[in-house]
Amino acid sequence: MNPRLAMVLALAAAACGPKVSKEKPAAADPAYVFPHSTHVDADVDCKACHPMDKATKLEAGVRHVKVPANVTKIQPCADCHDKDFPAFKPPARHAPFRLRFDHAAHLPRVKGDCKRCHTAPPEQGDKQAKAPPMGACTACHEHQQDFAEARCVPCHVDLKGYQPETAFKHEGEWLRAHGALARPSGESCAACHDQTYCAECHSPQTAAGRPSIVFPERVERAYIHRGDYVSRHMIDAGANPASCRRCHGSAFCESCHELQGLSKLSPATGETNANLRRPRSHDQDDWATPGTPGALPRHGPAARRDIASCAGCHDQGAQATCVGCHRVGSPVAGTRSPHPKKFLSAHDRGDISKNEMCRVCHG
């Protein structure tokens, strides 16, 4: 390699090099020891201990706590306390704030009433302060449009650590519900989840493996293919054929069915059609051809009610087994159209020219 080019590339690599600090996991904050609710109930002003008038931002290392030392000598403490306590210094907070907030700007607007937002103070034993609900913000701020448009920045640093509530609460039938919410509110989902997260389940064509295999330790996650899914996949597919088809194309099914000697095109076994393993339904005498003259073979109604199941083995375009009999002019085609009424009402002969697939039989 040209030495000058190597030098320039080395400089580029150095410029790209991570001059970053690794975020250390925040140590757990110690539990609260101060009996907040006792003092709130006694109408002690929060400002007696929390001088927030000049606090313009939330900082992990700054507590904004100044407990009076001589409680027996100052009001309103002296109303209850007849004994002084040793000076109390609250321990430092480690957990970073994920929110930007200016107490100094807000206190005049609520006339110094902290309880307007802080509806529940931290109790003894709590390891985290109870953050005001977001409704406290939106009671004054018109953020509905921002919420609808998933514009959480700049108030929120990010949404890590927040648990969604009400509509977006991830519980109960969340697996069934989340798609219905993502369709109108996909950008809201994106506020917390990158597509790499969605792709863990929603990209079976490119994924390394089933999530339940890659993450067996995540027992709390709702993985639909958990355990021995091979034995029950046909039952689930029969009950809800569209569910499989949202993620899996026919060729995905065939990739396995061919290796198992189930599909007609079976390069792994090279078996003839007669030797293939088939569903039990296919072994009925009148499955492929009518049992009695004029009757319908059984495969017709079965295909009508669940064509997606057929596609798991027979979706090979012009080579599909259906074409041999159903193409126009076939000696066994008969006069009855294989198309359902709803199909015929939507398509006329003009559509044949718009879809090469039609010409396989009508060409």
Q: Rounded distance, CA 115 to CA 124, Å?
A: 18
The reply on whether position 214 binds another protein by CB under 8 A is yes
Of residues 165 through 204, those in contact with another protein by CB under 8 A are 166-169, 171-173, 176-177, 179-187, 189, 194-196, 198-199, 202-204
As measured in angstroms, the least distance from the Cβ of 47 to another protein is: 24
Taken in order 255, 259, 264, 266, the sign of the CA dihedral is positive
**Site residue total, another protein (CB under 8 A):** 142
Single residue of 69, 234, 288, 295 touching another protein by CB under 8 A: 234
Of residues 241 through 300, those in contact with another protein by CB under 8 A are 241-242, 245-252, 255-256, 259-261, 266, 268-269, 271, 274-277
Residue closer to another protein, measured from CB, 46 or 315: 315
* 64's tokens: 């904004």
First to last CA, the chain: 59
As measured in angstroms, the least distance from the Cβ of 18 to another protein is: 6
Single residue of 109, 127, 130, 232 touching another protein by CB under 8 A: 232
The reply on whether position 102 binds another protein by CB under 8 A is no
Q: Rounded distance, CA 138 to CA 362, Å?
A: 63
Q: Rounded distance, CA 84 to CA 73, Å?
A: 9
Say how many CA atoms lie within 13 Å of 272 toward its Cβ: 1
The reply on whether position 27 binds another protein by CB under 8 A is no
The reply on whether position 87 binds another protein by CB under 8 A is no
Of residues 308 through 347, those in contact with another protein by CB under 8 A are 308, 310-311, 314-318, 320, 322-323, 338-343, 345-346
Cα distances (Å, whole numbers) of residue 324 to 184, 256, 259, 272, 339: 44, 24, 24, 16, 16
Residue closer to another protein, measured from CB, 67 or 157: 157
Residue closer to another protein, measured from CB, 66 or 185: 185
* 263's tokens: 């599909």
Classify burial at 120, counting beta carbons within 10 Å of its beta carbon; exposed 0-12, middle 13-18, buried 19 or more: middle
As measured in angstroms, the least distance from the Cβ of 73 to another protein is: 38
Interface segment toward another protein; rule CB under 8 A; list 47-55, 116-124, 328-336, 351-359: 351-359
3-state SS class at 277: coil
Of residues 107 through 136, those in contact with another protein by CB under 8 A are 134-135
Cα distances (Å, whole numbers) of residue 129 to 124, 163, 175, 179: 10, 15, 31, 33
Single residue of 73, 100, 109, 115 touching another protein by CB under 8 A: 100
The reply on whether position 72 binds another protein by CB under 8 A is no
3-state SS class at 156: strand
